[in-house]
Amino acid sequence: MGAFGIFFTQSPSFLEYQRRLQHTTGQNNAHTLFTVGQIPCDNQVRTLLDPITPSALDAVFVEIFEGLEHHRMLSHFRVLGDQLLVALDGTNYFSSHAIHCPKCLTRHLSNGQTLYYHAAITPVIVCPGQAQVVALPPEYIMPQDGHAKQDCERAAGKRWLRTHAAQVAPHGVTLLGDDLYSNQPFCALALQEGYNFILTCKPDSHPKFYERVAFWQANDSLATREEHHWNGRFTEVTMVRYLNEVLLHQGDDALSVNWFEITVVNAKTGEQLYHNSWITNHRLTATNVVAVAQAGRGRWKIENENNNVLKTKGYHLEHNFGHGKQYLAAFLLSLNLLAFLFHTVLEWSDERYALLRRVLARRQTFFHDVQALTRYMVFDHWDHLMDFMIRGLQLESQVDTS
């Protein structure tokens, strides 16, 4: 909880400030806000957390997800006939030419140096038109027992599918992923575990597949759909071509998938604004193909609304909070992801927190205020802190006390 407090308040010095408060006032916010009995020093935090596998925190992610589902707080995220879109993507969160541990991945550079790094898949629930994402348990890309080959994102993605199928897939989930995932083993496993999928599929990496698409195109078998949309500045024309039941690869066990591509142009100038193509197990029709395409485009939100926020908006995803000799770096990242998840859920479920986040619109402003207040004052509980900030901003009339 002491380490979690650092990430929740976005204050790397949170525990140091609370030790000073304890010394001067006999009280501290680590205890009142995070139930920390005795404030650990940094070395103690690292020593105690290093041996703990980050999967020990998976149950917290799952409990929050199931709670949101139970209270129907994800209903506005559902598309395509009551589906949740779960985007998968890998990201690096540590790299060094000198610091390393047995859990590091390695890359040999052209200059002869070795780069040591940590990476993880950070799945999130996304939805076109929704600014927020909901974090699910991460999967760490690290050396696996009994495997001589270095771990990779594709193998980690398969582990995530298997590990969380029982808790996630029954809720109606369509997986979104980049071109790395659009292969027979991954797609077959996804279907076996109860997931649907919409995966980017590029011609350069699937030449044989696109030969089959070209064959059907030559036989006038591709269907088309066109829509016009005013974006506030000009009219966009969305053109979709699609084809059902294309074999993903050659062979008797080849999986049949449905293919579509989307092109968006400026109606006035003809300028191409967007182009991409995907494969999916959702059967495509004239009535649903545009919605499926919009869902596929939603994958970018894992970059913009998740990874970029974690890197640039106070969470310092790529900062080395502690590397350790076993799992420390990964465990601390899981705590950071949990803090991000808690912040998201609080905006939906806690009226005081949501009001303050609306008024203090910049994320950094809100957390700078929290950091300053908890550095100099002790609050009995979270509502005490929130009420103090609301009174200071003279927002009492905006709080519903019913």
Radius of gyration of the chain (CA): 24
User: Which amino acid does the sequence have at 360?
Assistant: L
Residue 235 makes CB contacts below 8 A (sequence gap 6+) with 228, 229, 266, 267, 268
Q: What integer pLDDT is reported at residue 288 of this predicted model?
A: 94
Q: Which two tokens stand for residue 261?
A: 């591509």
CA distance 136 to 354: 22
Judge whether 140 and 117 are in contact, CB under 8 Å. no
Q: Dihedral angle at the C-alpha atoms of 319, 325, 326, 328, nearest 10 degrees?
A: -30
Q: What integer pLDDT is reported at residue 130 of this predicted model?
A: 87
Helix then strand then coil, % of the chain, to nearest 5: 45, 20, 35
One DSSP character per residue, 115-128 reads EEEEEEE--EEE-T
| Of the candidates 133, 130, 203, 122, the residue with the CA atom closest to the CA atom of residue 156 | 122
Judge whether 132 and 344 are in contact, CB under 8 Å. yes
Q: Any idea what the Cα angle at residue 295 is, between residues 293 and 301, rounded to 5°? A: 125
Q: What integer pLDDT is reported at residue 357 of this predicted model?
A: 93
Residue 200 makes CB contacts below 8 A (sequence gap 6+) with 177, 178, 179, 181, 182, 276, 277, 278, 296, 299
Residue 254 has phi, psi (to 5 degrees) of -60, 135
From the first residue on, what is the mean pLDDT of each consecutive set of 10 residues in the chain (402 residues)?
A: 94 94 95 95 92 96 96 94 94 89 90 91 92 93 85 94 96 96 95 97 93 90 90 91 92 91 92 94 95 90 72 76 89 94 93 93 91 96 95 85 50
CA distance 171 to 338: 21
50-349 is classed CATH 3.40.50.300:
no
CA distance 346 to 303: 22
CA distance 84 to 174: 6
CA distance 286 to 237: 16
Helix residue ranges, H only, 219-349: 289-297, 301, 308-312, 328-349
Q: What integer pLDDT is reported at residue 306 of this predicted model?
A: 67
Q: What integer pLDDT is reported at residue 400 of this predicted model?
A: 67
Q: What integer pLDDT is reported at residue 312 of this predicted model?
A: 73
Judge whether 246 and 230 are in contact, CB under 8 Å. no
Provide the residue ranges of all domains of the chain, joining segments of one domain with +. 50-349
